[in-house]
Amino acid sequence: MNEIPNCPSCKGENTYFDGSLYVCPDCAHEFNPESVTADATPDVPRDSNGAELADGDAVTVIKDLKVKGSSMVIKRGTKVKSIRLTENAEEVDCKIDGSSIVLKTCFLKK
């Protein structure tokens, strides 16, 4: 038997599956099994090629990037030695020329 998640609204355990959605009879909340699964799985940061990124990975910038709030431009081909993952799977922290910079993972290549 499939495990049925508790109601995300009232945490009730009487939820059942009606064929497309989970339904909670206690508070009449309906929820989508896919959204529940997505919430339970932490996003893995991936580079432009879809490779998983991890703390300390070395990456290359694949596009000229303007740094917000400064005149600095990170040139395409810049090597970043050690990235640090953030809570946002689309961004990583790194240091370039001594400055802490947040980079979008879609502009990085491992």
In the complex, which residues of this chain contact Zn ion (CB under 5 A)?
Answer: 7, 9-10, 12, 24, 26-27, 29
State the minimum distance, in angstroms, from the CB of residue 9 to Zn ion: 4
What is the spatial distance between Cα 108 and Cα 103, in angstroms, rounded to a whole number?
8
Instruction: Return the number of the residue (25 or 56) whose C-beta is nearest Zn ion.
Output: 25
What is the spatial distance between Cα 98 and Cα 79, in angstroms, rounded to a whole number?
13
State the minimum distance, in angstroms, from the CB of residue 34 to Zn ion: 18
State the minimum distance, in angstroms, from the CB of residue 19 to Zn ion: 18
Instruction: Return the number of the residue (27 or 106) whose C-beta is nearest Zn ion.
Output: 27
Instruction: Return the number of the residue (35 or 88) whose C-beta is nearest Zn ion.
Output: 35
What is the spatial distance between Cα 91 and Cα 95, in angstroms, rounded to a whole number?
13
In one-letter notation, the amino acid at residue 74 is I
Using CA atoms, how far residue 33 sits from 6, 8, 24, in Å, is 11, 11, 12
Helix (H, G, I), strand (E, B) or coil at 36: helix
Instruction: Return the number of the residue (36 or 85) whose C-beta is nearest Zn ion.
Output: 36
State the minimum distance, in angstroms, from the CB of residue 26 to Zn ion: 5
